[in-house]
Amino acid sequence: MSQVKTIEWKDGAIVLPDQTLLPERLEMLRCEKIQQIWEAIKMLRVRGAPALGVAAAYAVVLGLKEFAGSAREEFDRQMNQVCDYIATSRPTAVNLFWALERMKRFRQTLAEQPTQLVWEALLEEARRIHQEDEQTCQAIGDHGQTLLPNPATVITHCNAGALATAGIGTALGVIYAAQQVGKKVRVYSDETRPLLQGARLTAWELIQNGVEVITICDNMAAVVLKTKSVDCVIVGADRIAANGDTANKIGTYGLSILAKHHGAPFYVAAPLSTIDRSLSNGAQIPIEERDPDEIRRGFGRLTAPPNVQVFNPAFDVTPAENVSAIITEKGILRAPYERSIAEAFKGRE
């Protein structure tokens, strides 16, 4: 599989492709300061819930690099500040907060060790999070591909592929895993307005990996579902509540309604780390609202009156009743999701 590394720790810095420049050009961004990775997360240079978890883990290491060897109190104070700072970058993707909490818990296990050794251990923990995501994506793909016939026609929304994770992806991971076992898959990729992740990223990524892809505007999905013999819809997730309500890129909720109307299964592919069991339902998921100029001045060009009011939520919530199954690394979860999610977490922390 042809794959650009979505994120990498290299020579004391975080290196990643600037996804805001795709597909026009592939340019690697080197983040040597904590402010640079914060900006990269905020501006969607790195994006996708699993990738944000990996980025957050490496960001902790980056922010503590110059404090390795300092007094323990100073090191720990800086770690808290770094975690608090990175947490302000984006509010919806729970993997980011999950990774920060995991790094803080891991620090507590190191007790009185010298801070230079603590920093080195934190780097290894970030690398473990990175490696675990690679394995998780493959497992999600392996479970999910069993749901696809051969050949299969799939609609997806936004980008939940290799560019959104450290591995082969979640929603697109299902497609790549199907490809690995010899299935032929055709993908309709929703353009995903206003930032066009489905057109800029998903279409680019699928072409790189030899998957047939047809990009459509978001408002064409109903016609495709009606006329193109779609077998299923597969999307990723940024946060899933304990009842199965799912926050994903804006437009996902509408796509789930269309899929339900046309009798197409609607699958959500996500790691267990995306499930936030502290939230009983999707109404409690914080929804990021982004800069109005993403709509008023799309990609730098005036695309609406410059003084028009804008509502620009980055995500919406699909109710669990519209979700046919949640594909995780532990298997395929079905309704009632309160029960299947709780079962999936048995034996974990």
* 245 tagged catalytic: no
Q: Are 57 and 123 in contact (CB under 8 A)?
A: no
Catalytic member of 76, 231, 238, 316 = 238
What amino acid positions are annotated as catalytic residues? 238
